[in-house]
Amino acid sequence: MEHRRPASDDPIARFLELFAVAKRTPQIPEPTGMVLATVGEDRRPSSRVVLLKSIDEDGLVFYTNLESRKGREALSRPDVALVFWWGPLESQVRFEGRAERVSDEEADAYFATRPRGSQLGAWASEQSTPIATRAELEAKLADVTDKFEGMPVPRPPHWSGLRVRPTAVEFWKNRPNRLHERELYTREKQGAPWFVHILNP
Active-site annotation holder among 43, 44, 134, 178: 178
Contacts of 154 (CB under 8 A, 6+ apart): none
| 70 CA to centre of own chain | 11
Can 178 be counted among the known catalytic residues? Answer: yes
Helix or strand or coil: residue 155?
Answer: coil
What are the residue ranges of helices labelled H in the chain? 11-23, 69-76, 104-113, 116-124, 134-147
Cβ atoms within 10 Å of 194's Cβ, excluding its own: 19
111: left (phi over 0), alpha (psi -120 to 50) or beta: alpha
How far apart are the C-alpha atoms of 99 and 95, rounded to whole Å?
11
Provide the terminal-to-terminal Cα distance of the chain, rounded to the nearest Å: 19
Distances 85 to 6, 37, 160 between C-alpha atoms, Å:
26, 14, 25
Tell me the catalytic residues.
178
